[in-house]
Chains A and B, each alone.
With several copies, the nearest count.
Chain A
Amino acid sequence: MSDATANAGVQRPVAYRGGGFAPSPRRWVGFVVFAVLVVLAEWGTRSGWISPLTLPKPSDVLDTFGDLYKSGLLFQHLVPSLSRLFMGALIGISLGVVIGILIGLFSYVRAGMVPVVAAIFPIPKIALLPLFVIWFGIGEGSKYALIAFGTFTPTVVATYGAVDNVDRTLIRMGQSFGLSWWSIVRKIVLPGAMPGILSGLRISLAIAIILLVAAEMLGAEFGIGAYILEAGSLYDLERLFAGVVILSVLGVFVSVAVGLVERRLLGWRT
């Protein structure tokens, strides 16, 4: 404006060119999206624009869910499913973690087991259902086994990856202070592998939920999976969707639970 400025030649603020590439959380958008989807479906099915063969009315699904709850059947289905999830995942994940750690620690175990695990990985569990009947019976055994089998391989892979990723300088530090092999494994390798193991857990548990349906193909009268299968065979879309929503919510719960465990156990991470 003044002469002084004019004398200094052109004078302008530096151009801004930063920002972006840093997504900021906007929680409400998620709810809006769900709400919009549900409203669209409701409107579509009501107006006949979506045929009842294609999608059930969301309000009917809600009704079905309400009935399920009121009749007490919800828990009759949920309890056995949760116990199957729990036992199956417990077996699969604990075995997987143990084998994964052994693979991470011992060259021979690694050389022997990694190809076996790689070969087992792409085997579809439902293909083996007839065999599972023979191997583990049609009781709870085969359901546990199927879920355990499905969670085992991803857990192994995540665990030995996590052990491989433990900072080698920490291990060298342990050795340089004369710590015993067992101390190093217990105090350095295991806690160091924990973040990787937990994030593997997330995936394994999601897979366990997915496998619930396959597991309950084998002689289950009650269980969310059995409920879904029956709904499917009766082409009862309301019940099918109610069951799927339950699994979906279960998945979200499990993921939140793992998140809490992570926050609790891995508070030391930056």
Chain B
Amino acid sequence: AQNKKIKVGALRFTSHSASFVALERGYFADAGFDVELEFFQAAQPMAVAIASGDVDYAVTAVSGGLISLAEKGAIKVIGGALKEEAGIDGQQIVVSDAAFQAGLADPSQLDGKDYAITQSGSSFHYVGSNVASAEGLEMSYKPLQKVGAIIGALRSGQVDAWNIVPHIAKPLAGAGAVHIIGAVQDYLPDYQITTAFTSANNAANERGQTKDFLAAFSKGIDDYNGTMIDKSGGDAGVDEMVKLIHKYVYTDRPIEKAAPSIINGTMRLSPNAALNVASIQHQLSWFQSEGLVDADITLETLVDGSYVEMINI
């Protein structure tokens, strides 16, 4: 296919860098795609947009909504993206300054605390719940919808704890607004945070196109991992990559201010978009056990494993 128009959904987060790189470096074009990036404010509408056919491919966390749409036969997960990896700063567990001053310095002390989430069935809910069960304690979950509302609630000490990507956690901690008391990867090693997904139709009937997309997307992943984590290009390579990402992320800040945030946000993207199926199954089971989605949904309903490597089967 030549110059096939496709739409790729994205959030203005560093975790979506693979798409930015693939577009900027022409990997999509090489694969015969004329890609238009479609930006969203939140992950949930992006999933719905895939279902409605407004967007062809996108990357987002596994959420109750995503599973629900998969159950309705609208979408399929086809690959992996952001993941936790030992040795790389991943999502952090943070607590409010007030709670910290009151002595909350370790996740094991979270019993009875208020844990901020955006919505029931969000990835925050999943993480919080797993931390709680690992430590054998109970927390109450406060749905606050918006990241902004959560930050406000943390700053004013109205909720005690939260988990968030490093590039948001670190500056907040630096400003003294919150304190980092642990890492998510201690509780969920190899957690597959985000996945690449598409409409069920694309997965089943546009196999060639989907394969090509994943290939180009994987090149973007390789570039990103190589430059930002393995430092194959040295500092100059990092600078150039930061410049590229800055076209899409923190655009309203000058590059000097944006660069630290972009660098702080660096996490591993699954090489070759490989998918950690064990993690996905774990997430699905959790959603089911919480009664958020139907209990009879199988992994096959959610994932089309024919495209990329399935790890840990």
Contact = CB atoms under 8 A, between A and B. Distances in A.
Interface of A: 52-53, 73, 129-131, 133-134, 137-139, 217-221, 226, 229-236
B18 interface: no
B145 A129 contact: yes
Interface in B35-72: 38-42, 44-49, 51-52, 54-55, 63-65, 68-69, 72
A137 B38 CA distance: 12
Interface string B157-184: 0110000000000000000000000000
Contacts of A231: 148
A214 to B, nearest CB: 9
B68 to A, nearest CB: 4
Given A137-B54, A230-B119, A129 B155 contact: no
Given A229-B41, A233-B41, A234-B121, A220 B151 contact: no
Report the contact-size class of chain B (Cβ under 8 Å from the partner): 35 or more
A220 B142 CA distance: 7
Nearest to A229: B41
Nearest to A236: B68
Interface string B195-239: 000000000000000000000000000000000000000000000
Contacts of A236: 68
13 contacts: A133-B52, A138-B45, A138-B144, A139-B158, A219-B40, A219-B45, A230-B120, A233-B147, A234-B148, A234-B293, A235-B68, A235-B152, A236-B68
A233 B64 contact: yes
A130 B45 contact: yes
Closest 7 CB pairs of A and B: A233-B148, A219-B142, A234-B64, A133-B152, A233-B119, A232-B148, A130-B148
Given A130-B146, A133-B48, A235-B47, 18 more contacts: A53-B51, A73-B252, A133-B153, A217-B146, A219-B142, A220-B143, A221-B143, A230-B119, A233-B44, A233-B65, A233-B119, A233-B120, A233-B122, A234-B65, A234-B147, A235-B65, A235-B152, A235-B155
Nearest to B70: A235
Given A138-B52, A218-B45, A233-B65, A131 B152 contact: yes
Interface of B: 38-42, 44-49, 51-52, 54-55, 63-65, 68-69, 72, 74, 119-122, 140-149, 151-153, 155-156, 158-159, 252, 292-293
Contacts of A52: 72
A138 B38 contact: yes
A230 B148 CA distance: 9
Given A138-B49, A235-B47, A133 B144 contact: yes
B41 A53 contact: no
Contacts of B293: 234
